[in-house]
Chains A and B, each alone.
Chain A
Amino acid sequence: MTHPSSVPSPSQPTVGGPGIYLDHAATSPVCREAVDAVLGGMSITGNPSSRHEAGDEAKDALESSRTQMAALLDCAADDVVFTGGGSEADALAVCGTVLAADGHRPVHVITSAIEHSAVLESCAMAHELGAEITILRPDGRGWIDPEDVRRALRPNTVLVSVMHANNETGVIQPISDIAAVVHEAGALLHTDAVQTAGKISLAGLGADLVSVSAHKFYGPKGVGALKVAPGVRLSPLIRGGSQERGLRAGTENVPGVLGMAAAATAALHHLDDPAHQAHRHTVRAHLLKGLEEAGDIAVNGEGAPCLPETLNVSFTGVRGDTLVDVLAVHGICVSAGSACHAGSDEPSHVLTAMGIPAQRARSAVRFSPGRTTTVDAVTTAAARTVDAIGKLRALGPAGAPQPSHA
């Protein structure tokens, strides 16, 4: 595994020593297998669509990668469409389905309020194209009830899009149950599996359309894939060539696709490793135990099935974006549920959809350890976080909560 370039290296410590990267839900470092595959792909000259030996070499690289991605997506190789990332895969799934629908009557799309902006904005675009959109609310844990999906279905519903796990809370949605409900009504199901691909198995999900993004599972940025099940009708968004079964024009990103496929194969090995699976939960438990020392914290999404790699915590009396900035100075990379841009401070749409008050949503920070994160690293990060929270609370209103050990 390469060391993230943006994290201070152990030889160049910042204020608090070596950097600790706990922002894998934003992006992950590129694994050695993917680096080697990308570098190998850079020396492939041909265009996969060309009818000569150089083209055949590129085509072979693409098709072997497609087979590797099919193993990750639990589908046939022919069902894999390469895209320029997860957001493009989401857009193709949502808008592509609406564009391909029978144009004689308005079509209906169901999604949830906690989706990534790539899905929500694609639904907004689908609305501009004439589709009716229903946005489902999660429960207080950030979980979508399949029965709510059932109640929202209409005779003209063509697509339901519910993410596999949420990017802010890590809450895992009941996709296979939702698939049964959706298919019973004759509609299609799309799931944005960007946060789960490579972390948990995608086998048996039952979704017709599944989006993944390479850089979330230790592959390169700017490349992704969409599983398109047999019989699903999609209209391409990017046109001008017959690549990817006519669903995505443009010469394929051969080095990127090779890197993504290598990362997928490596991730599948880890999925089958019981020691790695146990480590994921151990790391989360130590991280949470350490953060609890801050006192007066709330885990957002608590009580729902959750990815152990994603821990979203609100610290009373502290702004999440401020804590992120202070921790960054100490070489600890995490993300806030909200960001203060240009003087506006909109709390996270995910947390507010869960019914979490704005004040608590603004105090949320997401910690997302990764494959190589050690127990020592999260223990250190938690201790520095508790220290920073104590100092920030001391600056604020008198009587703010103090660390439990203080």
Chain B
Amino acid sequence: MPRYSPTVVDHFTNPRNAGELDDPDVRAFIGNPVCGDQIMLTARVTDGTVAEIRFRAHGCAASLATASVVTEAALGATLGEIEAWDDERVEALLGGLAPDQRHVAALGRQVAHRLVTNHREGVDDDAPLICA
């Protein structure tokens, strides 16, 4: 059985929306202190909908794929729709995960929710992304 789903392989080899927006409306950062995976999202939001989004990430291959699929799914979605995502939704976006990779689904859900919360509260995560 392959270690990763075809979707995960596709996204960590051809990541979408990589980079960082200049002067974004909102910035969200999540780091997993145990395994060191980190994702930072920057987005522009128009009328409650994600109009533009980029990610930076450092971590295992599955976490890089997670950052990529999260941006792809978030683009064009309303903040309310994103807020409804759970871990299972992110895992489904990835085409499934092995049990030892499921922590990245939580990471993806958390950073997406943080983007919504930060936008609503008008705050940014200023923690720089560092290699851990």
Contacts and interface: CB of A to CB of B under 8 A. Distances in A.
Interface string A384-396: 0000000010111
Interface of A: 15, 316-317, 319, 321-322, 325-326, 329, 340-345, 359, 362-363, 392, 394-398, 400
Nearest to A392: B64
B130 interface: yes
Contacts of B46: none
Given A341-B100, A343-B100, A397-B131, 6 more contacts: A319-B60, A326-B13, A359-B131, A395-B67, A396-B58, A397-B56
Contacts of A340: 35, 59-60
B58 A397 contact: yes
Contact of A362 (B13, B32, B36, B61): B36
B129 interface: yes
B129 A397 contact: yes
Interface of B: 3-4, 9, 12-13, 15, 18, 20, 32, 34-36, 55-61, 64, 67, 99-100, 103, 128-132
B95 to A, nearest CB: 15
B32 to A, nearest CB: 7
Contacts of A396: 56-58, 129, 131
A241 to B, nearest CB: 38
Nearest to B32: A343
Contacts of B4: 325
Given A322-B64, A359-B132, A395-B15, A344 B56 contact: no
Nearest to A362: B36
B79 to A, nearest CB: 25
A343 B131 contact: no
B12 A325 contact: yes
A345 B34 contact: yes
Contacts of B57: 395-396
Given A344-B35, A345-B36, A359-B131, A395 B56 contact: yes
B18 A326 contact: no
A326 B12 contact: yes
A343 B103 contact: yes
B60 to A, nearest CB: 4
Contacts of B12: 322, 325-326
A343 B34 contact: yes
A343 B15 CA distance: 22
A145 B56 CA distance: 44
B59 A397 contact: no
Most chain A CB inside 10 Å of its own CB: which residue of B12, B15, B103: B12
8 contacts: A322-B59, A329-B13, A345-B34, A362-B132, A363-B131, A396-B129, A396-B131, A398-B56
Contacts of B64: 322, 392, 395
Most chain A CB inside 10 Å of its own CB: which residue of B34, B64, B100, B131: B131
Contact of A395 (B3, B18, B100): B18
Nearest to B59: A319
A319 B64 CA distance: 11
Contacts of B35: 340, 343-345
Given A359-B131, A395-B15, A319 B58 contact: yes
Contacts of B13: 15, 326, 329
Contact of A321 (B55, B58, B60): B60
Contacts of B59: 319, 322, 340
Nearest to B36: A345
Most chain B CB inside 10 Å of its own CB: which residue of A340, A342, A344: A340
Contacts of B100: 341-343
A326 B61 contact: yes
A344 B129 CA distance: 19
Contacts of A343: 32, 34-35, 100, 103
A340 B107 CA distance: 15
B35 to A, nearest CB: 4
A333 to B, nearest CB: 13
A394 B20 CA distance: 11
B101 to A, nearest CB: 8
A329 B9 contact: yes
Contact of B103 (A15, A342, A359, A400): A342
A317 B128 CA distance: 14
A364 to B, nearest CB: 13
B52 to A, nearest CB: 18
Q: Which 8 A-B pairs have the closest CB atoms?
A: A343-B103, A325-B61, A345-B35, A340-B60, A396-B58, A342-B100, A397-B129, A343-B35
